[in-house]
Amino acid sequence: MTQTARFPTTLTRSPKPRQPDSALAFGKTFTDHMFLMDYEEGKGWHDPRIVPYGPLSMDPATTVLHYAQAVFDGLKAYRGADGTIRLFRAQRHAERLGKSCAGLCIPPIPADLVRQSFEAIVGVDHDWVPRTEGTSLYIRPTVIATDVMLGVHPSHSYTYFVICSPVGAYYKEGVKPVRILATDTHVRAVQGGLGESKAAANYAASLSAQQEAERQGFTQVLWLDGVERRWIDEVGTMNIMMKIGDEVVTPPLAGTILDGVTRNSILTLLRDWGHNVSERRVSIEEVMQAGREGKLTEMWGTGTAAVVSPVGELGYKGDRISIGNGGTGELTQKLYDSIIGIQYGRLPDAHGWMSTVPVPVEA
Ligand X SMILES: *Cc1c(COP(=O)(O)O)cnc(C)c1O
- What does DSSP assign to residue 20? P
Q: How many residues bind ligand X (CB under 6 A)?
A: 14
Window 220 to 279, contacts with ligand X (CB under 6 A): 234, 237-239, 258, 260-263
Nearest distance from C-beta of residue 292 to ligand X, angstroms: 28
Per DSSP, the three-state class of 164 is strand
The Cα–Cα gap between 176 and 139 comes to 24
Of 40 and 349, CB closest to ligand X:
349
- Restricted to residues 145-204, the positions that interact with ligand X (CB under 6 A) are 198
Question: CB within 8 A of 297, min separation 6: which ones?
Answer: 243, 244, 323, 324, 329
Cβ-count burial of 348 within 10 angstroms (0-12 exposed, 13-18 middle, 19+ buried)?
exposed
Q: Return the residues of window 39-78 that contact ligand X according to CB under 6 A.
A: 74
For ligand X, which is the closer residue by CB, 124 or 181?
181
Task: Name which of 266, 258, 267, 262 is nearest 223 in CA terms.
Answer: 258
Q: Which is nearer to ligand X, 114 or 261 (CB)?
A: 261
| Residue placing its CB nearer to ligand X in the complex, 39 or 170 | 170
CB of 197 to ligand X, least distance (A): 9
Site residues (CB under 6 A) for ligand X, limited to 293-352: 302-304
CB 237 → ligand X: shortest distance, Å?
Answer: 4
CB of 222 to ligand X, least distance (A): 12
Show contacts with ligand X in window 68-127 (CB under 6 A).
Answer: 74
Query: Residue 45 in contact with residue 160, Cβ under 8 Å?
Result: yes
Measured from the CB atom, the residue of 79 and 263 that comes closer to ligand X is 263
Asked if residue 189 lies in contact with residue 226, where contact means CB atoms within 8 angstroms, the answer is yes
Q: CB-wise, 48 or 195, nearer to ligand X?
A: 195
Nearest alpha carbon to residue 305 among 355, 249, 356, 236 = 236
Could you tell me which residues are beta bridge partners of residue 299? 242
In angstroms, the CA 45 to CA 47 distance is: 7
CB of 209 to ligand X, least distance (A): 13
Smallest separation (angstroms) from ligand X to the CB of 170: 12
In this structure, which amino acid lies at residue 201?
A
Give the residue with the Cβ less far from ligand X, 155 or 237. Answer: 237
Q: Name the residues that contact ligand X, by CB under 6 A.
A: 74, 198, 234, 237-239, 258, 260-263, 302-304
